[in-house]
Amino acid sequence: MRWEDLREDQDGEALFDREDIAPAPERGTGRAGLSAPGGGPVAGGDGEPVAVEIRARSIINRVPGESPMFRWTLNPYRGCAHACVYCFARRSHTYLDLDAGRDFDTKIMVKVNAGELLRAELARPTWQGEPIAMGTNTDPYQRAEGRYRLMPQIISALRDAANPFSVLTKGRLILRDADLLEQAARVTDVRLAVSVGAVDEPLARSVEPGAPTPRARLDTVRALADRALGCSVLMAPVLPGLTDSPEAIDAAVSAIADAGATSVTPIVLHLRPGGAREWYAAWLAREHPHLAPLYRELYGKGSYAPAPYREQVAARVREAARRYGVGGRTAREEASTGRHRQRTPAGGRAEQAGRTERGGAPRQMRLL
């Protein structure tokens, strides 16, 4: 595989041990359910959860396109043990000669030099200090982060450079770094968001089997709000026929409001071919075959549901957000303390993310 030469365990006949040049990084005591891959090539298709430690050549990635929602991203991991069946990033694993299904869930690439590499790239004269978005591809606070602890290094580097950043996550591990996030928020713009598509716990266990429960994620929002670290919620993805009813949306927005979220942004499921589309379709046929006609109607002509359907979902969320006063608690806290600026969903511009509390029809975001 073309990335094998980046592996941390493939030093060959090095003149010095790596520990002789730089101190060994701090690691957690467990392995987050991931074994070491061994000395040979990583085998795909066996379902064995492994963490493949690699030394990346670069860490800040420019997003292609004319007008992306964010221009720069950072992903310390490739693959994600949350195993969300709808994840649009699945296709990226095929670039590693691995499959977009079980390999994406179990073969986790760990960029062990992410922190040191980021410091070097932030220090370049050509770097303009633009916002960097994290969690736009795979979750930086997935289980592997409990062992590798890359995010404290990353946040510290961004704090020391006073470089604005955003984090989108499902992981409760973000609370471990709350002190660092507070420090960073004193010197730059820090925007936090948690993804909660619905509050149906049995459905979440089926569609997001490796992720924290919706209740746990809302507890994370609440804990961040209690520390005056404003946190928005991406209600993502809204699943047609499963979480799009008025009752399901009302229950979700009510819980999001109670958690103290600064805003709620609905994102309807999108299914790109080459990974997410096929993996989600197999799950749907297995778990909810009666919905197949609805999905053929909505996604038969493309990756996105029709605009009228997306607008209907957005209207339902917007009305529920108005009714439950999403953002009121955190706004009052910020008005009384003055410690932090109002935050928007990860990635930045509120008008692009479709924040509901400002009124008007939210626009569909292109990334989860």
Given a contact cutoff of 8 angstroms between Cβ atoms, the answer to whether 252 and 263 are in contact is no
What pLDDT is stored for residue 363 in this prediction? Answer: 34
Q: How far apart are CA 337 and CA 340, in angstroms?
A: 8
Report the chain's C-alpha Rg in angstroms: 20
- As given in the structure block, the two tokens for residue 95 are 């670039």
What pLDDT is stored for residue 14 in this prediction? Answer: 39
Given a contact cutoff of 8 angstroms between Cβ atoms, the answer to whether 84 and 269 are in contact is no
Q: How far apart are CA 296 and CA 312, in angstroms?
A: 19
Model confidence, pTM: 0.82
Report which secondary-structure segment, H or E, holds 238: strand 231-238
Going from the C-alpha of 123 to that of each of 128, 158, 184, 229, the distances in angstroms are: 10, 11, 17, 27
What pLDDT is stored for residue 7 in this prediction? Answer: 52
In the chain, what are the helix, strand and coil shares in percent, each to the nearest 5? Answer: 40, 15, 45
- As given in the structure block, the two tokens for residue 189 are 């713009």
What pLDDT is stored for residue 41 in this prediction? Answer: 67
Question: Considering the chain, what percentage of its residues have pLDDT values greater than 90?
Answer: 70
Q: How far apart are CA 217 and CA 184, in angstroms?
A: 22
Residues 6+ positions from 177 with CB-CB distance below 8 Å: 151, 152, 155
- Residues in the chain with pLDDT < 50? 1, 3, 12-22, 329-368
3-class DSSP state of 35: strand
Sign, CA torsion 25/60/170/240: negative
What pLDDT is stored for residue 243 in this prediction? Answer: 98
Q: How far apart are CA 229 and CA 225, in angstroms?
A: 5
Given a contact cutoff of 8 angstroms between Cβ atoms, the answer to whether 123 and 163 are in contact is no
**Measured at the alpha carbon of residue 74, what is the angle toward residues 214 and 345, in degrees to the nearest 5?**
45
72-74 and 60-62 beta bridge pairing:
antiparallel
3-class DSSP state of 51: strand
Report which secondary-structure segment, H or E, holds 334: helix 328-337
CA atoms within 13 A on the CB side of 346: 28
- As given in the structure block, the two tokens for residue 67 are 């007008």
Nearest by Cα to 241 from 283, 199, 293: 293
Q: Is the peptide bond before 76 cis (omega within 30 degrees of 0)?
A: no
